[in-house]
Amino acid sequence: MSTPENLRYTKTHEWAKFEGDLVTVGVTKFAADLLTDVTYLELPHVGDHVFANQECGSVETVKSVNPLYSPIEGEVVAVNDKLIEDPNELTKDPYGAGWMIKIRAEKPNADQALMTAAQYARQLESEKH
């Protein structure tokens, strides 16, 4: 399974790409593979304040509604509007065009609270058992 080394990960299967205090957020390939037939996305709005490990949106599929959690605390500065028009892009390219939101991190070193790619890979292995 693809787990890019340059990203950080949450236990709830979100990824975060840190570029200074700007953090791009999406769902992992593992989560995307489980989310077949995405029908609707509810994402926060630009200007919204999100909190680490708190629900900030949802992904609706034909079979379920799944919460989206923010990996960090901060202000939403961009939303991927293309996903609203074509939510299946989320499952086609979860680490690229399927990004969901960008957050301006409020706290320094926010990435330290998240898992590395190796730690996330171990979590995935443990979830298989």
The domain segmentation of the chain, as residue ranges, is 8-124
* pLDDT of res. 1: 56
What pLDDT, on the 0 to 100 scale, is given for residue 64? 92
Question: pLDDT at position 129, please?
Answer: 59
Residue 11 is predicted with a pLDDT of 95
User: Which pLDDT belongs to residue 82?
Assistant: 94
Q: What is the pLDDT along the chain (129 residues), one digit of tens a residue?
A: 578 999 999 999 999 999 999 999 999 999 999 888 899 999 999 999 999 999 999 999 999 999 999 999 999 999 999 998 989 889 999 999 999 999 999 998 999 999 999 999 999 998 875
3-state SS track over the chain: CCCCCCCEECCCCEEEEEECCEEEEEECHHHHHHCCCEEEEECCCCCCEECCCCEEEEEEECCCEEEEECCCCEEEEEECHHHHHCCCHHHHCCCCCCCCEEEEECCCCHHHHCECHHHHHHHHHHHCC
Distance CA 34, CA 72 (A): 23
Q: What is the pLDDT of residue 117?
A: 96
Would you state the pLDDT for residue 127?
A: 82
Burial of 7 per CB tally in 10 Å (0-12, 13-18, 19+): buried
One of 1.10.8.640, 2.40.50.100, 3.40.50.300, 3.40.630.30 is the CATH number of 8-124, namely 2.40.50.100
